A and B are shown apart, each in its own frame.
Chain A
Amino acid sequence: MDHAPARSSRPYLDDLTRSLHTPLERIAVEHADLIEAVRRRVVTNDSVPSGIVAVAAFNSSI
């Protein structure tokens, strides 16, 4: 079994909406890939290339 999380760079719309109906304590087990995708996309921002606009203060970044 490939135990590594799926290497998706982004969370899926289906997974996000389905996980809203999963009890909080079950999310880590039932949606392990989603958590990893969120961790990569939102926390470590793996998908962000150099030169991208800052996440804050869009008015000075657009």
Chain B
Amino acid sequence: MLKVHSRCDLSCDHCYVYQHADQTWRGRPARMPPATVQAAARRIAEHAREHGLPIVHVVLHGGEPLLLGAAGLREVLAELRTAITPWTRLDLRMQTNGVLLDEELCRLFVEYDVRVGVSFDGDRAANDRHRVFAHGGSSHDQVRRALALLRRPEHRASYAGILCTIDVRNDPDRVYEALLAESPPRVDLLLPHATWDHPPEHPGPARTPYADWLGRIHRRWVDDGRPMSIRMFEALRPGGGGTEAFGLAPADVLVIEADGSWEQVDSLKTAYHGAADTGFDVFDQSVDEVARHPGVAVRQDGVDGLCATCRACPVVDRCGGGLYAHRWRTGSGFDNPSVYCADLLSLIDTVDAYPPPSPLASGERSATSPVDELLDDLATGHGSASTLALLAATQLSITRALLAAGRDRSGATAAWDLLVHLDQTAPEAVRAVLAHPFVRPGLVHRLDSSAPPGLGVAVDPLPALAIAAALLAGVPATLQVPVRADAITLPSLGRLVLPGLGESAEVSVRPGEFQVRGGSVEQTVLLDPLALPSTGWLPTRDVSVPGGRLLLEDGDPYRDCYGQPVESRLEVPAARALGRTLAEAWRVVHRDVPAHAAALDGGLRAVVPLAPDPARPLRSATARHAFGAVAVTPHPDPETMAVLLVHEWQHAKLGAVLDLYDLVEPAHGSRIRVPWRPDPRPPEGVLQGVYAHLAVTQVWQSRAATDQPDASAHAAHFLGWTRDGVDALLASRSLTAAGERFVGQLRHALEETRVGSR
């Protein structure tokens, strides 16, 4: 947080900077001098470079940062972008009272990709209770005008949201409606700063007036379908993760004051004079040195850094002890619960209780949460069609989020603009491309490059994605597409290999074909599946299965994500043979375990051939980033292939679940002995093992019922493995509550399997 201007044009009586215990602002320069801005930017860049940080968030703060004016702010923003963006992604933010915001400033913030939060307390009466000029006049009209400017389509990308400091004397309904009327992407509701030395106001007899007031807003918000993000309520949900004010995550905010001093979070100013001081400054000390300051270090300890009362509290993972500053009491320092402890407890109850669980309709299983329903359904061993559809939807959503993150990194490009256009005009085409299993590995590779931006990164996957979507949509388009190893890969469609293409080629989509120009090459590729493939074009082959079309993916470079060699493009006879085996294996799965077949139908879209290895002829694999695909050695026996498909699809489903939920305690480093390997395994490996073995047990149970030779022996073998693995897992105490529930339900499914149900 950069305090670029230490004075303010409002005189809010609830401001912790000027009106509370700390008065250090009086000795600081009004503006942060250019040399201090440079030193601050260098320190941030240095830290990002040394630690390889993927992102740094910088908030311009005050006082009131707009007092710098457009020219002054431009200098600061340019300095930050120049110094920091070569080393990491810079997320620039600003917090302002909005009074001075005008069109020129809005354009500046859009130009520098700055997202602006505006302080605004609600309706006129609420806002003007505290947010007034020194002469006592209202700021309400000026702030609403600022919010209207940010709402304009051309500025909207710079509208971060609203900070609303609550006052329980205000009408919560009117405050909620006033906030909603401003269409903010996010609202941050702030409890007024208070300590045990200076407790919050309790204007009436209520024991928890703040929880009551916020509870009213929570009810309105839920009833309205959560029309905007309200950070406080989202953070207090189970597993909400937290913010600066809630949760147990390590503190990760440092403040640079206008004179270059490093300070701890500035809400500490409410505790006592000098509370945020470190004695360090950006000229002489690095971020690492400040991070070792005791006041910062103590806030890295999670629950261990809290007082005994908090450590023993069952909801400590939700509130995290509340805002650090709110724990202050002279004598015991910060070793106390929050002065808002009773309100936070009550508010957590409110968040948990509303909306109430829906009443059971006749025939419904239970009134469990959506999370529990999903896990319970998958714990049957297979999962219903609706659960598979939900998992596939979450995977697609994750890929879209990665795409947006990639845009954040690269900025707007012609490829991005084309994807955005197609997303509006031909969403099914975009969806079909993004659902290809190897899009996500490509995006992750791009985002996770160890090389910082500007120093050599993975090939940008967006142009090829946009061209593939345009081809599917039949929309004419032209883009420059990166070439990798003389090839352009269009996800889900195929691969064009033409030596001499150079590093980048112009690709033009036309009806039924596309044209490529690059290096010394010019080539038109016809997409008619009945025509002979054009020179260099290797279309992705597919085979008809009960679930639709199954791709034989032997061309996409990102299919190489299984930790073992993948086969290069199959010759035509080999591809046909594998296709026949897979189609027959799919029918075998339908014959043996229809419930598992329905789960395959719901999500398996591609099979990757693994390279042959005579020493290990029967192998298969699943990759966490490639939902919708499995890799197999091209074994010719459909009965064997059916078992591989069922086994691997279990891993794919569980992998998708693990993107959403922790089933194993994250910090658990234990190893568990399992019957299927000689060496002790980590809990997640055992979980994956028992889930796959349960399904394989069900396959062999089914075959045993039709008297297939050796099926009973195989069934008993896998049943024993699964049962022992489940029992070891449950005894290990390595599972989260959701994991305990999931594995407990698996145990039930196992008992049903044992008595012979199909």
Query: Once the chains bind, are B661 and A56 in contact (CB under 8 Å)?
Result: no
**Given the known A-B contacts A6-B234, A13-B394, A24-B423, are A33 and B229 also in contact in the complex, defined by CB atoms under 8 Å?**
yes
Q: In the complex, what residues of B have CB within 8 A of residue A1's CB?
A: 95, 117, 119, 160-163, 188, 190
A58/B651 contact (C-beta < 8 A), A25-B420, A35-B401 known = yes
Interface-facing stretch out of B287-295, B508-516, B619-627, B708-716: B619-627
A-B interface contact total, Cβ < 8 Å: 209
- Say yes or no: B405 contacts A43, CB within 8 Å: yes
Bound-state CA distance A53–B242 (Å) is 27
B244 at the interface (CB under 8 A from A): yes
Contact B401 A62, beta carbon cutoff 8 Å: no
Bound complex: CA A24 to CA B117 (Å): 23
Residue of A nearest to B245 (CB): A2
- Minimum CB–CB distance for B25 against chain A, Å: 20
Total count of chain A residues near the partner, CB < 8 A: 52
B685–A7 CB distance below 8 A: no
Least CB distance, A13 to chain B, in whole angstroms: 6
A2-B188 contact in complex given A7-B242, A35-B404, C-beta closer than 8 Å = yes
Q: Which residues of A contact B188 (CB under 8 A)?
A: 1-2
> Within 8 Å CB of B242, what residues of A?
6-8
Q: Which residue of B lies closest to A25 (CB)?
A: B420
Known: A6-B242, A10-B661. A24 touches B404 (CB 8 A): yes
B235/A13 in contact, CB under 8 A: no
The one of A2, A32, A41, A58 in contact with B692, judged by C-beta atoms closer than 8 angstroms, is A58
Query: Which residues of A from 1 to 52 have beta carbons under 8 Å from B?
Result: 1-13, 16-17, 19-20, 23-25, 27-35, 37-39, 41-44, 47-52
Could you tell me if B371 and A3 are in contact, using CB atoms closer than 8 angstroms?
A: no
Q: Are B688 and A61 in contact (CB under 8 A)?
A: yes
Q: Counting CB contacts under 8 A, is B473 at the interface?
A: no
Partner of A24, one of B57, B186, B419: B419
Give chain A residues whose Cβ lies under 8 Å from the Cβ of B162.
1
Q: Which of A16, A50, A62 contacts B398 (CB 8 A)?
A: A16
Beyond the given A3-B115, A23-B423, A47-B662, please list 5 additional residue pairs across the A-B interface where CB-CB is below 8 A. A3-B93, A7-B249, A44-B54, A52-B684, A56-B562
The 3 closest A-B pairs by CB, nearest first: A8-B241, A55-B624, A1-B163
For this complex, 27 residue pairs linking A to B, each with C-beta atoms less than 8 Å apart, are: A1-B160, A1-B162, A2-B244, A3-B57, A3-B59, A4-B253, A6-B243, A7-B241, A9-B241, A10-B661, A13-B371, A13-B374, A13-B394, A19-B397, A23-B424, A24-B400, A28-B407, A28-B408, A29-B185, A43-B405, A52-B664, A53-B681, A53-B682, A56-B562, A56-B621, A60-B564, A62-B677
